[in-house]
Structure 1
Amino acid sequence: MVRKFRLRNRCGYATMTPIRGGRVSTGDNSGSAVKERLSWIDFSKGLCMVLVVLYHLSLWMETEVHSGPGLWWVISDALNPLRMPLFFFISGYLSVSALRRPLGSSRSRTLGLYYVYVLWTALFLLRRWLPFLSADAEPEVGQLLLSLVLPTSFWYLYALPVFFLATKFLLRMLGNRSAYALIPLAVMSALSPLVQPYTQGLLTEPFDAAKIPSVLANFLWFYLGVHGAALWASFSRRRSYGVLGLSAALYVAIYAVMTAFRLELLLETVLSGLALFVTAQLVSRINMDSRAGRGLRRIGSQTLPVYIFHIVLISALSAVVKLTGLMPLLQSSPGMAAAVVPPLLALPVILLCLSAGSLIKRSPFPWLLDAPSFLVGARKPKEDDSRAKAAGSPNAGLNR
């Protein structure tokens, strides 16, 4: 008998069953094709996006303004084991039903996402040919083309199709034993920093470095998301303030030891797993209908434009600061600037990204964010909203 777990959040219930034979059941026996999006998913994705934006803003301050470790850079570094592992865990979690279908019906998750990656990587890198944005020598066309086949600035969009195809292959090859692949994937994740010296010369300045180690490190969490629905539900259901406090304290202690003794190879993967456990305990307590909860859920339901445009906006912001002569002002008090600027700009940047995404989807150019139908096939009609509400989901469908 397959054991079922019941996951409760403030917007409703859903059942999740463990993986069997390379498949996962969502516990939906109604016969409908409605895909429930639980509120914790949008909330967690929104939280990830806020952390990503803060990270890139603090990275900008760190590299161009502040020579030492600023406040938000330290915070972002401490949250590094959580930020992308949680994002990829959710991506794997949401891919379960698509993995059960024939590959041809999932082109939006493979060819479609790679199309978006290539398009925005090319547009983003073309700025290197604009003399007022870069003082570097004219980039090589060969390096531009190589940037389109390797993971660079928008590497998350590159990784998702790769992870989806690799997971589908492993599920087919290993069948009932597919969960055992988590062991070598954990080893690969832990050892991924060792690959960096062998890949850092593939792309040279002024192009962004290839993020191959990041891709290798995060496949584990996508694959765990595919297999871990029941485990996540169990952690969320058996929540305890004592367990939450102890696990959070343990996270801080392990992080302190890891950074003090430079033990990333041994501890960062363990720390990411612990961060996911803390998040499962935490999000089950959040009031998803609070103002903050609704705000993060809105961001989490529209992650694609935020992920793409925040990088473009920060790059444009860097150019504006240089051209207007504001850089000396920021550098006059770098510590204060590093502490104030990232949180001050994070919300405006996110809102501009959401607005840009909304405008593009209503414009004659929706192909800027969605692959054209000749690549991914005809779009399926959206499920009826009333059926989604009856299922207890705040939103219908899945956001890529």
Structure 2
Amino acid sequence: MKNKQLWINHIKGLCICLVVIYHSVITFYPHLVQFQTGFPEYVAKSWIYLNLYLAPFRMPVFFFISGFLITRYIDAVQWRDCVDKRLWNIFYVLLLWGVLQWLGISLINQWLAPDLVRNPTSNAAYSETLIQFATSMAKASTSLWYLYALVLYFLVFKSLRQFRVPVILMLLAVNVVISFAPLPWWGMNSVVRNMCYYGLGAWFGTQLMTAMKEFNLRQHPLICVAAALVSVALYLVNVPLVISLVSIFVIMKLFYVLDNWRESRADAFLNIVGTNTIAIYTTHRIVIEALSLFTLGQISAGRISDNLLLAILMVYPFVSLAICTVLGLGFRKLSRAAFGDMFFSPPAKLVTATQAR
């Protein structure tokens, strides 16, 4: 693997780590602020607010990189040759893990928190009936909405590649509008909001990557300061588009510079995680649900001392990330060794049949 691919893979690794931390926070700390006071309450709220402020730095660059990596499929590969890797493979994983998350999280909730009230329409994983599950999946109201987006985005950007400039301008405008008039479904809201970043990567990624590499921060200090001030000002009035675009540039520039300073290694943590984003992304939500409900149960029952509780509140997202990473990588290895990787790739017969059509 070339260094160029390694530093990009490191960015993917960072993004999936931020996604795991995000879910670790939202499934744990909001339940604590209701009955914790003093310093523990302050720590819990700090994690919640930090999670919100990290939003512009989490998914935009993830989608930009995802779009950039499929530029060849968008421009040069025929539709029938895209079905397997770019459509069927992702749709298969989305459907399979949608069902596995639904079954797994339902069982975990019945076991660890049978009295906890969940809104069955808020997430496909909390559905009480097959109809609710299918409806939530169709509306992208699922923790797997990133996979949902990848399928939809590819269809849109390969179909409309002849209208790149007007379409991307429209999507940038939609990103701003949706900040003030969000869609009623959180998942679809996220899908629509992030579409412009994927499009920038898929349609203009090569040019933007070249510009990023050639841009010298020291030679343009006023531009950098102006971009920072404008992006923060707009973010404070609920327009995160500019700060998200700036974050894409800054994160890519940082990793590119670090790669030039010290050669990226294939055995680095972020590279390993970045190579296995799908495995960690699909499995982590089940692990997080079990971990958060178990820990909350121990806290509610008074089995955790005050000092230990404070320590848990300080480091919980990082511990959760470590557990989710180890289990995700381990399950991927098991899937490959024992099941022909059928948990992350369509069975060979289905793939062959799809390619033959």
**Normalising TM by the smaller chain, what interval?**
0.7 to 0.9
Which residue number in structure 1 is paired with residue 184 of structure 2? 199
> Any unmatched runs of 5+ in structure 1?
1-9, 13-36, 201-209, 381-400
2:90 is the counterpart of 1:113: yes
Separation of aligned partners in 2, 1:366 and 1:290 = 28
2:52 is the counterpart of 1:77: yes
Which residue number in structure 1 is paired with residue 38 of structure 2? none
Which residue number in structure 2 is paired with residue 283 of structure 1? 255
Q: Taking structure 1 as reference, are residues 363 and 235 closer, same or farther at Cα in structure 2, changes over 3 Å only? A: same
Which residue number in structure 2 is paired with residue 145 of structure 1? 134
Which residue number in structure 2 is paired with residue 48 of structure 1? 15
1:89 to 64, 70, 73: 64
Could you say what secondary structure the match of 1:162 adopts? helix
Which residue number in structure 2 is paired with residue 344 of structure 1? 319
User: Deviation digits for residues 217-238 of structure 1, max 9, x if unmatched?
Assistant: 0110110001221212221233
* Alignment root-mean-square deviation, CA: 3.2
Could you say what secondary structure the match of 1:368 adopts? coil
2:155 is the counterpart of 1:180: no
1:229 to 194, 206, 228: 206
Could you say what secondary structure the match of 1:147 adopts? helix
User: Deviation digits for residues 364-384 of structure 1, max 9, x if unmatched?
Assistant: 25211112234444899xxxx
Q: Taking structure 1 as reference, are residues 54 and 105 closer, same or farther at Cα in structure 2, changes over 3 Å only? A: same
User: Deviation digits for residues 76-99 of structure 1, max 9, x if unmatched?
Assistant: 322211210111101110111112
1:301 to 260, 263, 275: 275
User: Deviation digits for residues 265-304 of structure 1, max 9, x if unmatched?
Assistant: xx20111111111123211211464679821111111111
Scaled by the length of structure 1, the TM-score of the pair is 0.72
Deviation of 1:348 (Å)? 3.1
Which residue number in structure 1 is paired with residue 111 of structure 2? 132
8 Å contact from structure 2 (residues 64, 197) kept in 1: yes
Separation of aligned partners in 1, 2:189 and 2:129 = 24
8 Å contact from structure 2 (residues 235, 243) kept in 1: no
- Among all aligned residue pairs of Structure 1 and Structure 2, give the percentage whose two residues are the same amino acid: 25
User: Deviation digits for residues 102-138 of structure 1, max 9, x if unmatched?
Assistant: 2221122212211211111111112465332443488
Could you say what secondary structure the match of 2:240 adopts? helix
Q: Taking structure 1 as reference, are residues 374 and 162 closer, same or farther at Cα in structure 2, changes over 3 Å only? A: farther
Count of matched residue positions in the alignment of Structure 1 and Structure 2: 328
User: Deviation digits for residues 21-60 of structure 1, max 9, x if unmatched?
Assistant: xxxxxxxxxxxxxxxx622210110111111112121222
2:176 is the counterpart of 1:190: yes
Q: Taking structure 1 as reference, are residues 297 and 379 closer, same or farther at Cα in structure 2, changes over 3 Å only? A: farther
8 Å contact from structure 1 (residues 111, 375) kept in 2: no
Deviation of 1:239 (Å)? 3.4
2:155 is the counterpart of 1:155: no
Separation of aligned partners in 2, 1:348 and 1:128 = 17
Could you say what secondary structure the match of 2:86 adopts? coil
User: Deviation digits for residues 227-257 of structure 1, max 9, x if unmatched?
Assistant: 2212122212333357589748954774376
2:249 is the counterpart of 1:274: no
Deviation of 1:183 (Å)? 0.6
Higher helix share: 2
Which residue number in structure 2 is paired with residue 385 of structure 1? none
Deviation of 1:305 (Å)? 0.6
